[in-house]
Structure 1
């Protein structure tokens, strides 16, 4: 493979794919409000043309017609998929003209939905990019790079036997270096409670600048406060600079704790969009990210109904560098 490195998310984007909720049988009563939240996110990223081109990906004609009516500012394409989590199923770009595609097994066999296993290759064809297939399981939300060669991930996900049985830390690190150009791997432990992705790092820790890692700080009633503390201690021991940001705390849906996280923000050309959940910390989180991204417009958008599907803004998007 040609030597490349995955660009940091704050590098310039030519466009972004965003998944549009398409299957009523999956989303049930949440499909309409989830579509409203997705379009609001897309509009913030587009920023009246000052941001980046938005490509809404719909899985059916009905969904595409609705997307065009709701988001006239966006391009809408039809590519059948299982669900909207394009961070995990779309190709991962390593340059403006090259991308990598990985095996996908439904987050460790939990959700085997038609179309999710090959949408990455199909989306790559729509951009006419050079695509190389990597024959091991990796989801984009499981990693986050700072553009210098450093990547952060969790042991809970990438060493989980439901992904790549028998893989060791050195093996995974070698594959990350070989296929995405990383030179150093920062291993954190576990991800958030009740996260069906088995601890994706984009709910736990995100780079906000080269060598600067944002990690939430929770109080003792936060179900993840020990996870956050362990991640911060591991990152500091590794040698990266850590900045602590607010956590939404304990968020319930149908009396069950859900993996709500401000860390599932998206960094666009003009905007940083932070998910909101009606928590008392929502405004503080936006202010914290505004301080970290002074050259962006930082905006909070509700993501309650998207979260019923298992993720938020970062999970439904995949940037195309340009």
Structure 2
């Protein structure tokens, strides 16, 4: 029996800082310099946006650290943007997935501190592993002097959505999957999620294995705005595919579910942009997460909640972008400033704003 407990805070609680990453020169974009430059620019824009609300740490491989330092030296924000050199030239941008998941460790006695859970990141089911990102969590915790929490399961931060009040949303396809947890039952995995995140109830949404590079992460599908309120990304397809089915199944599950406190959910849908607004993904791009035979991730619920703000993705569909802002204002407007950020390359690479961030809670 452990003499301590772990608890994951909701994203809307205060943060000490947020971790982002510049893509490395030897990473999956090394043969695509234009995409590398665009991804770097969008992460940098995101860092500047978050810097309006709270401190930011941008991890950068040694081969790009001087470039990063020079760039951010010219960026003026109310809160500091720190560049942090990290060993390895194969850095990726999806810190939500390969960085530690930070939790509060309590006990024994009255002791409390922030520690990181290392969920044994394996490159989204061995699809896109590089040494830099598969070893990132353990090295970062050691170098930054955070406690390290081991676990027997493999998952990513983008697969875990908690309300901080005992409820966790996950997709079965991204965790109960032999490419991450071979031989483990859903109950075994659920027990470990409860232990490492301090939740009381896990709500399983089916998802679809192989539908995208993450096997259908929850953070582009359904997100808590606050306890009892969930924003759902509404599929927008002229010809329905499995994505529409996933959306419909998500609505069905959440409409009949209650949270850990027995409350039914208020569900607010945010329709995705029209695909006709965008050019098809580039042809001939091999080995890059998000591009090979996969739909771009253009989900407005893949937002990030810094202190007092909402960093809301915009994609270049004027009507749907504006509609998403209106929904965000209705949901968050009285307590948070809506800060829209246009992203074009990150969705093509298989993620978005939330995927590129990982927060460290402000505690104690």
> Normalized against structure 2, the TM-score is what?
0.82
CA displacement, residues 169-224 of structure 1 (integer Å, 9 cap, x when unaligned):
21111110111111100111115984201111111111110121110223452653
1:87 pairs with 2:99: no
1:146–1:249 distance in 2 versus 1, CA, 3 Å:
farther
Question: 1:160 deviation in Å?
Answer: 1.3
- Equivalent residues in 2 for 1:2-17 (5 A)? 2-17=4-19
Task: Give secondary structure in 2 for the equivalent of 1:121.
Answer: helix
Q: Is the 8 A contact 1:20 1:57 kept in 2?
A: yes
Question: 1:244 deviation in Å?
Answer: 1.3
Residue 195 of structure 2 corresponds to 178
Separation (CA, whole Å) in 2 of partners of 1:191 and 1:243: 22
1:128 pairs with 2:156: no
Q: Is the 8 A contact 2:98 2:136 kept in 1?
A: yes
Q: Runs of 5+ in structure 1 lacking a partner?
A: none
- Equivalent residues in 2 for 1:70-85 (5 A)? 70-72=71-73, 73-79=80-86, 80=88, 81-85=90-94
- Equivalent residues in 2 for 1:234-313 (5 A)? 234-239=253-258, 240-250=265-275, 252-254=280-282, 257-279=295-317, 280-294=319-333, 295-313=335-353
Task: Give RMSD over aligned pairs.
Answer: 2.0
Question: 1:120 deviation in Å?
Answer: 0.6
Task: Give secondary structure in 1 for the equivalent of 2:245.
Answer: helix
Separation (CA, whole Å) in 1 of partners of 2:68 and 2:114: 28
CA displacement, residues 93-147 of structure 1 (integer Å, 9 cap, x when unaligned):
1125222112121111111211212211222224322211213211111110000
The structure with the larger Rg is: 2
Question: 1:30 deviation in Å?
Answer: 1.0
Question: 1:225 deviation in Å?
Answer: 2.9
Separation (CA, whole Å) in 2 of partners of 1:219 and 1:83: 29
CA displacement, residues 284-307 of structure 1 (integer Å, 9 cap, x when unaligned):
112211221121111221221122
Separation (CA, whole Å) in 2 of partners of 1:175 and 1:310: 27
- Equivalent residues in 2 for 1:1-322 (5 A)? 1=2, 2-23=4-25, 26-27=28-29, 28=32, 29-47=34-52, 51-61=53-63, 63-72=64-73, 73-79=80-86, 80=88, 81-95=90-104, 96-190=113-207, 194-221=211-238, 223=241, 224-239=243-258, 240-250=265-275, 252-254=280-282, 257-279=295-317, 280-294=319-333, 295-322=335-362
Larger CA deviation: 21-30 vs 289-298: 21-30
Task: Give secondary structure in 2 for the equivalent of 1:22.
Answer: coil
Q: Is the 8 A contact 1:191 1:204 kept in 2?
A: no
Question: 1:254 deviation in Å?
Answer: 3.1
After superposing on structure 2, the runs of 4+ consecutive aligned residues of structure 1 that deviate more than 4 Å are: 191-194
Q: Runs of 5+ in structure 2 lacking a partner?
A: 74-79, 105-112, 259-264, 284-292
Separation (CA, whole Å) in 2 of partners of 1:67 and 1:231: 40
Task: Give secondary structure in 2 for the equivalent of 1:263.
Answer: coil
